[in-house]
Amino acid sequence: MKAIQDYLNTIDGPLLTFTESVLDYMKTKYIKYPLELFYKQPTLKLKPKLFIMLGGGKNHFSLYTTDFDYVNSLKLKQLPKIKYGKSAILFPLEKDEYLTLAYQMIDEIIKRAESAR
């Protein structure tokens, strides 16, 4: 897989729609950060060891970040229907409100990265 479009060609349905929306958001709002494939996933590189990676499955969309403190702080909020991994935030694909929440979380991760510079 050499391009983000190659990744998009491997998914369909609601996951494709959600992923394309998030990619468009990041491309438009955060053009100064490179968007590339990393571990075969679309990734926005913020710093050498800080990134936001996109993924998902049949019933969820995932944001992965190496800002582990941010993910841990979200776990404490116990947001309805949101699941977590060590570095992952998993969104159900059922409602548009989760897309807005994904945008908000991307903004927060990037704001944290920029304020740490």
List the domains of the chain with CATH numbers. Answer: 4-115 (3.90.1150.200)
Q: How many CB atoms neighbour CB 73 within 10 A?
A: 12
| Dist. CA 70–CA 76, nearest whole Å | 10
Name the residue type at position 86: K
pTM of the model: 0.92
For 33-43, the pLDDT digits (tens) are: 999 999 899 99
The pLDDT of residue 58 is: 86
Identify which of 62, 56, 52 has the alpha carbon closest to the alpha carbon of residue 89. Answer: 62
Which residues lie across from 42 on neighbouring strands? 37
**Is the pLDDT confidence value at 95 over 80?**
no
Are 53 and 39 spatial neighbours (Cβ–Cβ below 8 Å)?
Answer: yes
Band of residue 117 on the pLDDT scale cut at 50, 70, 90: low
Are 102 and 22 spatial neighbours (Cβ–Cβ below 8 Å)?
Answer: yes
The pLDDT of residue 50 is: 92
* DSSP conformation class of 63: E
Beta-carbon-side half-sphere exposure of residue 98 (alpha carbons within 13 Å): 22
